[in-house]
C-alpha cells in the first residue's frame, strides 16, 4: 500500500448494543526491536525454487558458519539479521558454501550469496501504530521482517506452508491416501483504537490453529490403490487400470517425492511423470550392454527381484530420459503437502476431523503458541532481535447488536439467537405452482413410489401452511407428474421425457423436482444444464436420504427455495429495520471471482434463486459482484459475477457475469456491468440512485490500492455515461473479508450452548486498524465448531456513514438470506454471488475441462479453449427473466425485450468486438475486447 492511498478515517466508535468482553486470538508483542534490522537479499547457486530444499541449506548454515549469529530466513530470497554481516569482498556480498546429503548435483557445492538490501528502522511502524501514518512501504517492511522473525523457528523445525506450520504428531488418516496434519498459523497484526477512540500503539501476533492434507507415508502401490479406491492385486483377476484411473494416478503422483527401498542408501527422487506402459512393456537401453531391456527384466537381473505388479502398474520416471522405477520399490517420503483440491468426500472428512468447539480451539491455539515461541516469552531468535511476546490472549470489548424484526405475511417475528421459527407463519408473498414434475433417479427398491408420493403430499400440505397454492393433480388448468428414471441411463433423455408431455397442456412445467441418489451425484450438473439451457424450466434437486427422514423443517427449507424460484417473496425486514437503504434510493454493489474462459466474454445471468417475475415486476436496489479463483497452477479463467437486488427491501436478486483472464483480481468489465444495473434501476423505479454501496469480496490489504484506484474509477465512469456526465451519486466501497484467522471467545457473558459469541457480536476496537474505518461482525449462530466473524473495511465513503449505521445495516442484511430461517455469516448479495458462479459452471458444454482438481495438461486445455468458439450453452429464452447472456458473438435481446436490443459486430477500429445496445431513449456504444 503506497503513501498516496488514503482511506477513510474512523468516524466514531459504535455505541449500540450490549457490551461484554471477549478474548481474541491475538497475543501482544510487549517489546519491539529498538535497533535496526538488516535486510539481506539471498541467492543460492544452483538456484532452486524448492523452499524445503532452501531451508535444508539454511539449516546447515545455522549449525555451521552462522552458528554465532542470529539470522532469520523466509525460505525464498530474504534474510533478516539483528546485526550487519561482514562482507567478503568489495561487491558487498557475503558468501557461504554448503553441501547437502543428497544424490543429485543440486545438493552439492551450493553457494549462498547474501547482499545487504536495506536497513529497516521502526520509526514508520510506530507512527503507523499511533494512527499518524498510512500503511506504506516502510511500515510494511518492518512488519514483514517481524513476520519472518516470528515464523522462522517453527518453519525450520516443522513443515511450513504460507504463514502456517504443521507437525506429524497426531496425524489422522483420510481417504485417498492422505493424512490430516495439524499445526499453527502466525501473522503479525497491528492494534486498533481503545475504548476512548485513541490508537493503542500496540502490535500483536494473530495465532490460530491450522489443518491441511498431506500424503500418507506409505508404499507407493498402496497409495495408488487408495487413489483409485480399489486395492492393487497381483493375481490375474485384477481388472486393468482404466484411462480415468491412470489420469487420477498421473495427476496425484506428479512431482511427488519418493524413496527407493530396494537400495541400501534409500535414495530420494521426484517423480516427473508415469509411463504409458507397465513395467513389463517399458523398455530402455542399458548403458553397459547397449541392449534394449524391460524394467521387469532389468530388476530381475540387477537386483534378483521378481516384480509382483510388472504386468499391471506403469512405471514412474524420476529424471529426464530413460530413468524408470517400478512402483513397488518406492515409498512415499513423509511430510509432503497435498497440492490439489480435496474432493467433496475428503472435504467432509477434513471438516469432521478438524472441527473444534471454542474451548477446544482455544486449547489448540495455546498449543500452537508453544510451538511458535516455546515455554518462554520468545525463542532465541526473538530475544536476539529484542522482541518479547505475551502468552495470554488479548481481552477486548465487544457489543451484541439487537436483532431486527422480520415481516411474514400479516405478522412479524423477532429472531432469537440468530434463528426464528416459521410456525403459523406465511410467506410475505407466496407463489403459485400449477404445473410441475417430480423425477426420481433412485431405484424403486431404494425409494418406493409410495415414499415419493408421500413426499409430494407433504410438500403440498406444508406449502399450503405457508400460503402457497400447489397443484395436487392434473386437471384442465393444472399438471402434476411423478416419474422414475435410471441414474445409470441417459439423464438428458429422461429429463426430456419428463417435461415434454406437458406440451399437451400448452406449456412446459414451471418446476422440475429431481430426486438424487446422493448429494455428490454428477446428475446435478446435467439436470441444471438441461433445465436451464435446453428447456427453460426451473429445477430443484432433492437428496433421497432426506426423504427417508422427512420432517417439517426440511420441507420448510425446501419450500423457501421453491417459493423464491417461482417469484415469491419469503420474508422482509419490518418497516424501520433497514438502516440507510430504507431512507433513500440506494444501489448496493459488491464483489468476488471464479475462472472459466480466457476470452473476456461478457454476459448477464439472473440467479435461478430469484423468480421469473422479478425483473418485470420489481425494482432493483441491490447488486453484488463475485469473483472466485481456481487453485494454484490451474489455467482455468475467471468469472466475475454481479448479483442484483431487484426490489427496495433487498429480498430479490439477479446476477450478471463477466469472463476474464486467469487469476485476474480486478474486474475487467466492471464499468459496463455497473452501467447496466444503474439503467435497470432507473427504468424500474423511475428514480436515479442517490447512493451506491459497493461490497467487494476476496480482497487482501495488499490489493486495497488497486481496487480503490481501478474499480472505484470504473463505477464513476459508469455513472458519467448517464445524463451527460451530470449523474454523480455518493459512493461507498466496503471490502468484505472472510478468509482470515481472527476468532472471538466470550469471557463474561452467558453464551450460546455452542460456547460461541452470540450472533450480532461486533468488535471495532483493539484489534482493528489504528485509524481507518473497519470492524468485525459475527452475524451467524454457529452450527458446529468455532464461529468466524466477517471483517468489513471501508475503502471510500462519500455517504458519511457513522459506525452504528453501517454496522447495523450489515447485520440486518444478514437476516434476508432466502434459503434459511437464520442469519448468515456474510451479507446475502456476496453469498448469492458464490452460488451464481457455481451455477454458471453447469452451463459449460464440457464442465470437466476446467476442473478445479485437474491441473494437468494445462497447455492442452488452453489450446482447446482458443480453438473452441462456444464454451457454454445459452440459457433458454423462457428463463430470460432469470438469465441474461450478453455474448459478443450473437444478436439477441436483453431481459427487457421492450426496452433493449443488442447487436454485436466486428470492429477494426476498436481491434475487437464492438457492442452496441439500444435503449428506448438513447444509443450507447462501448467496446468488449475479445482476443
Instruction: Count CB-CB contacts under 10 A for residue 128.
Output: 26
What average pLDDT score do residues 765-776 get?
96
Q: What is the 3-state secondary structure (H, E, C) of 235-269?
A: CCCCCCCCHHHHHHHHHHHCCCEEEECCCCCCCEE
The third-level CATH classification (topology) of the domain covering 434-539+558-566 is: Rossmann fold (3.40.50)
How are beta strands 159-161 and 93-98 bridged, if at all? Answer: unpaired
Asked if 625 and 589 touch (Cβ cutoff 8 Å), the reply is: yes
- Give the tens place of pLDDT for each residue, 541-574: 999 988 888 899 999 999 999 999 998 999 999 9
pLDDT of residue 290: 78
**Which of 766, 770, 701 lies closest to 9 in space, CA to CA?**
770
Q: What cell does 927 get?
A: 467496446
Mean pLDDT within 655-684 = 78
**Measuring CA to CA, which residue among 707, 562, 725 is closest to residue 625?**
707
CA–CA distance, 223 with 253 (Å, rounded to integer): 9
CB contact at 8 A, 55 and 110: no
pLDDT at res. 901: 34
% the chain with pLDDT above 90: 55
3-state secondary structure of 879: helix
Question: Which residues, in sequence order, are bridge partners of residue 778?
Answer: 761
What is the assigned CATH class of domain 220-333? mainly beta
Nearest to 637 by CA among 649, 629, 648: 629
237 and 305 Cβ atoms separated by less than 8 Å:
no
Is the pLDDT assigned to residue 623 strictly greater than 50? Answer: no
Tell me the pLDDT tens digit for each residue of 772-825: 999 999 999 888 899 999 999 999 999 999 999 999 999 999 999 988 999 999
According to the per-residue pLDDT averaged within each range, which of 45-49, 616-620, 717-721, 782-786 is highest?
717-721
pLDDT bucket at 320, cuts 50 / 70 / 90: low
Q: What is the pLDDT of residue 84?
A: 92
Q: Beta strands of 103-240 (E only): which ranges?
A: 110-120, 159-161, 164-174, 178-190, 203-215
Pairing of strands 203-215, 292-294: unpaired
Contact 895, 606 (CB under 8 A): yes
Task: Give the separation between CA 738 and CA 490, rounded to whole angstroms.
Answer: 40
pLDDT reported for residue 782: 85
Residue 882 has pLDDT above 60, yes or no: no
pLDDT band at 393 (very low <50, low <70, confident <90, very high): very high
698: left (phi over 0), alpha (psi -120 to 50) or beta: left
Cα Rg of the chain (Å, integer): 30
The pLDDT of residue 107 is above 90? no
Q: What is the pTM of this model?
A: 0.86
Report the alpha-carbon distance of residue 649 to residue 534 in Å, rounded.
33
Comparing 428 with 474, the larger pLDDT belongs to 428
Of the candidate ranges 168-177, 748-757, 769-778, the one whose mean pLDDT is the lowest: 748-757
Name the 3-class secondary structure at 382: helix
pLDDT exceeds 60 at position 873? yes
Q: Are strands 586-589 and 691-697 parallel, antiparallel or unpaired?
A: parallel
Position 213 scores a pLDDT of 96
**Would you state the cell numbers that stand for residue 377, as one nine-digit string?**
516469552
Dihedrals φ, ψ of 127, to 5°? -65, -40
pLDDT of 234 higher than 80: no
Does the pLDDT at position 904 exceed 80?
Answer: no
Phi-psi region of 652 (alpha: psi -120 to 50; beta: other; left: phi over 0): beta
Q: How far apart are CA 513 and CA 537, in angstroms?
A: 10
Question: How would residue 636 be classed by pLDDT, with cut points 50, 70 and 90?
Answer: low
Greatest mean pLDDT among 122-136, 578-592, 744-758 lies in 122-136
Most confident of 431-435, 766-770, 858-862: 766-770
Which has more confidence, 845 or 208? 208
Q: CB-based contacts of 716: which residues, under 8 Å, 6+ apart? A: 728, 731
Q: Of all residues in the chain, what percent carry a pLDDT higher than 70?
A: 83
Which H or E element spans position 438? strand 435-440
Cell matching residue 68: 554465532
| Phi/psi at 594 (5° precision) | -115, 175
Average model confidence (pLDDT) across the chain: 83
Between 872 and 409, residue with greater pLDDT? 409
Look at strands 178-190 and 164-174 and give their pairing: antiparallel
- With a cut of 50, say whether residue 1 has pLDDT above it: no
Q: Is the pLDDT assigned to residue 175 strictly greater than 90?
A: yes
User: Does residue 899 surpass a pLDDT of 60?
Assistant: no
Assess whether pLDDT exceeds 90 at residue 2: no
Residue 649 has pLDDT above 70, yes or no: yes
Question: What's the rounded Cα separation, in Å, for the pair 548 and 458?
Answer: 13
Among 180-194, 438-452, 482-496, 581-595, the least confident range:
581-595
Show the cell assigned to 677. Answer: 444495473
H helices present in 721-821, as ranges: 803-813
Q: What are the domain boundaries of the chain? A: 220-333, 434-539+558-566
Three-class SS string for 341-353? CCCHHHHHHHHHH
Q: Give me the long-range contacts of 120-129 (CB less than 8 A, separation at least 24).
A: 120/36, 120/37, 120/38, 120/39, 120/80, 120/145, 121/36, 122/32, 122/33, 122/36, 125/32, 125/203, 126/201, 128/190, 128/770, 129/190, 129/191, 129/199, 129/200, 129/201, 129/202, 129/203, 129/770
Cis peptide bond upstream of 46, omega within 30:
yes
- Kindly list the distances between the CA atom of residue 866 and the CA atoms of 631, 826, 850, 870, in Å, as whole numbers in the listed order: 21, 37, 13, 10
| Cell numbers representing residue 54 in the block | 532452501
Give the model confidence (pLDDT) of 672-700 as tens digits: 888 888 887 787 778 888 999 999 988 88
pLDDT reading at 14 higher than 80: yes
What are the φ/ψ torsions at residue 682 (nearest 5 degrees)?
-65, -45
Query: What pLDDT was estimated at residue 321?
Result: 65
Amino acid at each position: 500500500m503506497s503513501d498516496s492511498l488514503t482511506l477513510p478515517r474512523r468516524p466514531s466508535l459504535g455505541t449500540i448494543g450490549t457490551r461484554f468482553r471477549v478474548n481474541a486470538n491475538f497475543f501482544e508483542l510487549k517489546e519491539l526491536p529498538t535497533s535496526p534490522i538488516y535486510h539481506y537479499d539471498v541467492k543460492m547457486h544452483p538456484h532452486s525454487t524448492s523452499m524445503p530444499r532452501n531451508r535444508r541449506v539454511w539449516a546447515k548454515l545455522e549449525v555451521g558458519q552462522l552458528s554465532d549469529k542470529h539470522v532469520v530466513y523466509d525460505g525464498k530470497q530474504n534474510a533478516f539479521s539483528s546485526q550487519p554481516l561482514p562482507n567478503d569482498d568489495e561487491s558487498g556480498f557475503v558468501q557461504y558454501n554448503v553441501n547437502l546429503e543428497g544424490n543429485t548435483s543440486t545438493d552439492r557445492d551450493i553457494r549462498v550469496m547474501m547482499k545487504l538490501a536495506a536497513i529497516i528502522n521502526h520509526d514508520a511502524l510506530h507512527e503507523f501504530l499511533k494512527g499518524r501514518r498510512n500503511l506504506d512501504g516502510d511500515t510494511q517492511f518492518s512488519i514483514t521482517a517481524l513476520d519472518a522473525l516470528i515464523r522462522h523457528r517453527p518453519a525450520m523445525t516443522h513443515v511450513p506452508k504460507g504463514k502456517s506450520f504443521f507437525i506429524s504428531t497426531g496425524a489422522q488418516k483420510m481417504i485417498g491416501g492422505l493424512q490430516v496434519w495439524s499445526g499453527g498459523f502466525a501473522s503479525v497484526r497491528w492494534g486498533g483504537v481503545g475504548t476512548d477512540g485513541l490508537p493503542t500503539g500496540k502490535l500483536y501476533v494473530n495465532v490460530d490453529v491450522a489443518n491441511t492434507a498431506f500424503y500418507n507415508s506409505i508404499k507407493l502401490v498402496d497409495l495408488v490403490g487408495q487413489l483409485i479406491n480399489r486395492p492393487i492385486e497381483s493375481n490375474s483377476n485384477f481388472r486393468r487400470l482404466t484411462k480415468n484411473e491412470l489420469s487420477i494416478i498421473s495427476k496425484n503422483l506428479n512431482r511427488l517425492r519418493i524413496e527407493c527401498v530396494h537400495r541400501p542408501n534409500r535414495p530420494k527422487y521426484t517423480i516427473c511423470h508415469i509411463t504409458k506402459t507397465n513395467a513389463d512393456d517399458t523398455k530402455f537401453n542399458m548403458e553397459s550392454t547397449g541392449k534394449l531391456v524391460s524394467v521387469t527384466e532389468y530388476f530381475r537381473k540387477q537386483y534378483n527381484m521378481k516384480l509382483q505388479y510388472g504386468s499391471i502398474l506403469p512405471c514412474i520416471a524420476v529424471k529426464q530420459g530413460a530413468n524408470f522405477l517400478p512402483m513397488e520399490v518406492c515409498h512415499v517420503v513423509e511430510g509432503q503437502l497435498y497440492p490439489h483440491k480435496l474432493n467433496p468426500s475428503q472435504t467432509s472428512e477434513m471438516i469432521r476431523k478438524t472441527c473444534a468447539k471454542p474451548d477446544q480451539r482455544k486449547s489448540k491455539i495455546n498449543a500452537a503458541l508453544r510451538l511458535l515461541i516455546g515455554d518462554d516469552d520468545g525463542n532465541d531468535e526473538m530475544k536476539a532481535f529484542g522482541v518479547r511476546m505475551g502468552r495470554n490472549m488479548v481481552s477486548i470489548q465487544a457489543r451484541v447488536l439487537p436483532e431486527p424484526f422480520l415481516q411474514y405475511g400479516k405478522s412479524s417475528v423477532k429472531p432469537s439467537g440468530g434463528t426464528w421459527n416459521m410456525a403459523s407463519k406465511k410467506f410475505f408473498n407466496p407463489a403459485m405452482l400449477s404445473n410441475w414434475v417430480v423425477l426420481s433417479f433412485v431405484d424403486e427398491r431404494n425409494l418406493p413410489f409410495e415414499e415419493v408420493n408421500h413426499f409430494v403430499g407433504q410438500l403440498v400440505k406444508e406449502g399450503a401452511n405457508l400460503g402457497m397454492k400447489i397443484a395436487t393433480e392434473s386437471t384442465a388448468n393444472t399438471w402434476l407428474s411423478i416419474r422414475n428414471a435410471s441414474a445409470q441411463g441417459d439423464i438428458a433423455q429422461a429429463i426430456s421425457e419428463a417435461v415434454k408431455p406437458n406440451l399437451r397442456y400448452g406449456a412446459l412445467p414451471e418446476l422440475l423436482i429431481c430426486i438424487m441418489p446422493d448429494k455428490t451425484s454428477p446428475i446435478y450438473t446435467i439436470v441444471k444444464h438441461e433445465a436451464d439451457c435446453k428447456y427453460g424450466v426451473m429445477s430443484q434437486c432433492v437428496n433421497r436420504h432426506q426423504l427417508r427422514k422427512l420432517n417439517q423443517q426440511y420441507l420448510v427449507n425446501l419450500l423457501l427455495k421453491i417459493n423464491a424460484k417461482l417469484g415469491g417473496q419469503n420474508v422482509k425486514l419490518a418497516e424501520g429495520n433497514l438502516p440507510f437503504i430504507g431512507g433513500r434510493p440506494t444501489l448496493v454493489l459488491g464483489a468476488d471471482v471464479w475462472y472459466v474462459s480466457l476470452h473476456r466474454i461478457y454476459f448477464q445471468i439472473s440467479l435461478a434463486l430469484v423468480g421469473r417475475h422479478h425483473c418485470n415486476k420489481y425494482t432493483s436496489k441491490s447488486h453484488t459482484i463475485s469473483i472466485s479463483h481456481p487453485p494454484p497452477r490451474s489455467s482455468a479463467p475467471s468469472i466475475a459475477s454481479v448479483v442484483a437486488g431487484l426490489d427496495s427491501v433487498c429480498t430479490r436478486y439477479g446476477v450478471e457475469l463477466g469472463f476474464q483472464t486467469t487469476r485476474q483480481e480486478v474486474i475487467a468489465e466492471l464499468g459496463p456491468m455497473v452501467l447496466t444495473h444503474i439503467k435497470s434501476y432507473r427504468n424500474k423505479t423511475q428514480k436515479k440512485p442517490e447512493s451506491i454501496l459497493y461490497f467487494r469480496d476476496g480482497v487482501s490489504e495488499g490489493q486495497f490500492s488497486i481496487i480503490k484506484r481501478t474499480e472505484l474509477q470504473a463505477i464513476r465512469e459508469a455513472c458519467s455515461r448517464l445524463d451527460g456526465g451530470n449523474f454523480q451519486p455518493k459512493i461507498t466501497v466496503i471490502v468484505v473479508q472472510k478468509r482470515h484467522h481472527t476468532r472471538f471467545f466470550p469471557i463474561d457473558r452467558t453464551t450460546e450452548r455452542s460456547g460461541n459469541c452470540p450472533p450480532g457480536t461486533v468488535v471495532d476496537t483493539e484489534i482493528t486498524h489504528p485509524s481507518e474505518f473497519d470492524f468485525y461482525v459475527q452475524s451467524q449462530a454457529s452450527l458446529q465448531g468455532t464461529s468466524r466473524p466477517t471483517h468489513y473495511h471501508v475503502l471510500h465513503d462519500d455517504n458519511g456513514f457513522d459506525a452504528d449505521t453501517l454496522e447495523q445495516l450489515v447485520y440486518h442484511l444478514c437476516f434476508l438470506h432466502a434459503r434459511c430461517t437464520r442469519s448468515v455469516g456474510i451479507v446475502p448479495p456476496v453469498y448469492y454471488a458464490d452460488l451464481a458462479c457455481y451455477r454458471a459452471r453447469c452451463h459449460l458444454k464440457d464442465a470437466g475441462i476446467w476442473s478445479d482438481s485437474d491441473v494437468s495438461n494445462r497447455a492442452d486445455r488452453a489450446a482447446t479453449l482458443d480453438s473452441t468458439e462456444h464454451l457454454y450453452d445459452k440459457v433458454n429464452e423462457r428463463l430470460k427473466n432469470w438469465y441474461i447472456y450478453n455474448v459478443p458473438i450473437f444478436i439477441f435481446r436483453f431481459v427487457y425485450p421492450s426496452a433493449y436490443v443488442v447487436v454485436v459486430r466486428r470492429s477494426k477500429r476498436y481491434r475487437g468486438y464492438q457492442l452496441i445496445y439500444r435503449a428506448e431513449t438513447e444509443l450507447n456504444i462501448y467496446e468488449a475486447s475479445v482476443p
